[in-house]
Amino acid sequence: MGIFNLFNKEPAISRTDLIWINYAAKLNGTRDYLSKNKTDLCVAWFEETHRGFTRFLNEENHMNIGISMAGSLRLYDLGGKNAVFLEHYPLYKKEADLLSNYKPASVCFMNSLDDALFQIFGGNIAALMRGMGLGEEEYIENSMVTSSVIKAQKKVEKKIREDFYVRSGQEWIDRYRSYYQHHQR
């Protein structure tokens, strides 16, 4: 290690967000992405996502894709690998901690405007996508979108003091809304 390496940060993990207009388009887009791109691991944060994608990818499309639950990952599962996350976790710190601890080579997040997190802040992106005339099979991918997702996660984090054990992203957002309304009084 040279003296100049002392001050270098670890290389940033390559993060990409792909966003489709709805959940059905996200399913089809994920199937197409996985068939065309080298992916070592698919990851779901919530049980409902795991079940839905397992059914769609493996039972309906016969792809034989293993999907891991984020909470069950071990270092060797993700370290240095190309991972596809089938959703974002609503809290940035939880997602960022997993990525920084396990250090995947790259991460691609699959999103749709139907996803729970996008219900909180996705209005601008939805208007943009519709204004651009994007069809269901098309998606947007831009570093500004990834930055917007991170900002939204951090905004949610500022409003909440605890995490929730739930089975779906929608259930998490519903609990968040209830918690936030209760603590605003």
Tens of pLDDT along the chain (185 residues) come to 444 444 555 557 889 999 998 999 999 999 999 999 999 999 999 999 999 999 999 999 999 999 999 999 988 888 999 999 999 999 999 999 999 999 999 999 999 988 888 877 766 666 777 788 888 789 989 888 888 889 889 988 888 777 888 999 999 888 888 876 666 65
What's the N-to-C CA distance of the chain in angstroms? 55
Supply the DSSP string of 19-67, one letter for each residue: EESSHHHHHHHHHHHHHHS--SEEEESSHHHHHHHIIIIIIIT-----E
Question: Are 143 and 151 in contact, with CB atoms under 8 Å apart?
Answer: no
Structure confidence at residue 13 (pLDDT): 83
Consecutive H or E run containing 111 = strand 106-112
Closest CA to 174 of 47, 32, 166: 166
Structure confidence at residue 4 (pLDDT): 47
Distance CA 87, CA 43 (A): 8
Question: Are 18 and 141 in contact, with CB atoms under 8 Å apart?
Answer: yes
Distance CA 140, CA 50 (A): 23
**pTM more than 0.85:** yes
Domain segments of the chain: what residues? 11-184
Strands 82-85 and 106-112: parallel
Q: Which two tokens stand for residue 4?
A: 């100049």
Distance CA 181, CA 173 (A): 12
Distance CA 177, CA 173 (A): 6
Fold of 11-184: Rossmann fold (3.40.50)
Structure confidence at residue 12 (pLDDT): 76
Residue indicated by tokens 């219900």: 119
Structure confidence at residue 183 (pLDDT): 62
